[in-house]
Amino acid sequence: MATTLYCPYCYDRFAERKIEFRCAGRVSVTGKVCKPKVDRNARDVMGDGQLRFPAFEADGRKLNATCPHCDLVTFIRLCPNCHSALPNYFGKVDSRMIALIGAKESGKTIFITVLLHEMMHRISRQFGVAVLGADDDTRLRYEKDYESSLYEQGSLPDVTRSASAGRLRQPLVFSFAIDRRRLGRTRVDRSVLSFFDTAGEDLTHSDSVELNTRYLASADGIILLLDPLQMRGARPLVGDDTELPVRADAGDRPEHVLGRVVGLLERMSGASRRGKIKKPIAVAFSKMDTLLGTLPEDSPILAEPPGDACFDEADSLAVHRHVEQLLHKWQGGGLSETLGVHFEKYRLFGLSALGNNPVGGAGDDGPRRVSHHGIQPIRVADPFLWLMSEFGAIPKKRG
Ligand SMILES: Nc1nc2c(ncn2[C@@H]2O[C@H](COP(=O)(O)OP(=O)(O)OP(=O)(O)O)[C@@H](O)[C@H]2O)c(=O)[nH]1
Ligand SMILES: [Mg+2]
Ligand SMILES: [Zn+2]
Ligand SMILES: [Zn+2]
């Protein structure tokens, strides 16, 4: 059976046998040696002009191939479109793409930074999984551009630049390995996870729609981040210490953002129009720390999430129903109906990546920063864990 794969770097679709190889560039016994040069695919698709050893075609179903120029065996496998080196065992292991989307300033960059930090530390201990950047570039970029600026310098990210404004931004690609014995199976199960930090404006600008469509088409699951502070009924509820974001243009308000995502997904799946959308969607309300004071004492959002090595369905459903009620209060009742009509599987979440309001800004010196209480996330991993449990990648405890 021919397997169709999606590149975790450029989201292009290809058959496994089309995977290409890159010469490892050593000197062979025959004395032949390949020279590095600019790789046209890497340059044109990813804007990567570095010198690389030559790429060549061979049977992509194999894990290695012999370079036709220097006769040396190489294990470096490439996406046929962008020529990014594919993670180990790509095509042989499950690869799960999770698309993260949301309007401008809904908190996507902070969410992804804190989620990955939690995954590499707390979640990996809780679930007995190993989470690692799949390539050097991801590891360096995550540490430098995301983790250390938020966690060490306490600075909030700048607006994420639109993908159409320059070269295609590289997604963050991670490998997630779980000891399958925990799932009653015998081997280690690896997944490749690809997160793409979209710019909010990519959802509204038509230039970026093509990229977004490819991104959504390749996704096995979607996390849609919505900002409760853009909901009419929620804005008057926040305390004085919260600097309300400017009310978004109509097109960037949660109900419209969901509508646009539904539109993209329906157009993509063209043929199966009459059915509901099959991709699971986690709809998460960010910045919940700003609304904690308005929640009842027994709110499941405030409860410590269970610490077992499995996804707790009862706990998650309690949060889901609670958010559904909150939506009525926030005057966003229609959201949950829209989800029910269009999606086979959806779940609501309430979370906070920072856990505390940022401080400073307006009047104070310098830009707004992470609060001196530090980063204390609330249920930030729930949507990701739900999707992973839906994929069968982590065990689920039924309620
Ligand atoms: N109180 C609170 N504010 C948050 C939280 N997460 C994000 N914010 C606020 O929202 C702003 C935007 O967050 P980003 O993560 O940059 O949002 P984004 O969705 O990546 O924005 P674009 O890149 O412009 O699309 C931050 O500067 C914070 O002021 C949170 O967990 N709690
Ligand atoms: Mg951003
Ligand atoms: Zn690619
Ligand atoms: Zn060679």
Instruction: Answer whether residue 184 shows pLDDT above 90.
Output: no
SS (H, E, C) 199-256: CHHHHCCHHHHHHHHHHHHHCCEEEEEECHHHCCCCHHHCCCCCCCCCCCCHHHCHHH
CB proximity list for 206: less than 8 A, separation 6 or greater: none
Q: Which residue has the higher pLDDT, 66 or 218?
A: 66
Which ligand is located closest to the Cα atom of residue 69? 4
Q: Which residue, by CA, sits nearest to atom 10 of ligand 1?
A: 107
Instruction: Read off the pLDDT band of 50 (50, 70, 90).
Output: very high
Is residue 95 very low, low, confident or very high in pLDDT (cuts 50, 70, 90)?
A: confident
At residue 282, the 3 state secondary structure works out as: strand
Other CB atoms within 10 A of residue 240 CB: 5
Cα dihedral sign for 282, 287, 289, 295? negative
Average of per-residue pLDDT across 171-177: 86
Q: Is 41 in the pocket of ligand 1 (CB under 6 A)?
A: no
Q: 359: Cβ below 6 Å to ligand 1?
A: no
- Closest-approaching ligand to the CA atom of 241: 1
- Residues near ion ligand 2 (CB < 5 Å) are 108-109, 160
Domains and CATH numbers, the chain: 4-78 (no CATH), 94-397 (3.40.50.300)
pLDDT at 267 over 70: yes
- Reported as a pLDDT band with limits 50, 70 and 90, residue 275 is confident
Give the residue from 307, 298, 295 showing the smallest Cα distance to 228: 295
Least confident among 15-19, 219-223, 313-317: 219-223
What local confidence, expressed as pLDDT, does residue 1 receive? 46
**Distance (Å) from CA 73 to ligand 4 centroid:** 8
From CA 197, how far away is CA 102, in angstroms rounded?
10
Ligand 1 probe mutation, 212, 287, 290, most atoms within 8 A of CB: 287
Q: Kindly give, in sequence order, each residue whose CB lies less than 8 Å from that of residue 112, ignoring residues fewer than 6 positions away.
A: 100, 146, 172, 195, 197
In the prediction, which pLDDT does 206 show?
60
DSSP count for the chain of H helices, then E strands: 9, 18
pLDDT of residue 181: 63
Q: How far is the CA of 85 from the centre of ligand 3 (A)?
A: 9
CB of 107 within 6 A of ligand 1: the answer is yes
pLDDT of residue 363: 62
Cα–Cα dist 340/271, whole Å: 20
Ligand nearest to the CA of 101: 1
Q: For residues 199 and 218, what is the distance between their CA atoms, to the nearest angstrom?
A: 18
**Ligand 1 pocket check for 353: Cβ under 6 Å:** yes
Other CB atoms within 10 Å distance of the CB of residue 124? 17
Q: For 350-360, what is the mean pLDDT?
A: 94
| Beta-bridge partner residues of 226 | 285
**Burial call 192-205: b when 16+ CB within 10 Å, e when fewer:** bbbbbbbbbbbbbe
Query: Tens digit of pLDDT for each residue in 122-168?
Result: 999 888 888 999 888 889 989 998 999 999 999 998 887 776 544 45
Report the range of poorest mean pLDDT among 204-208, 306-310, 360-364: 204-208
Nearest residue (by CA) to ligand 1, atom 7, is: 107
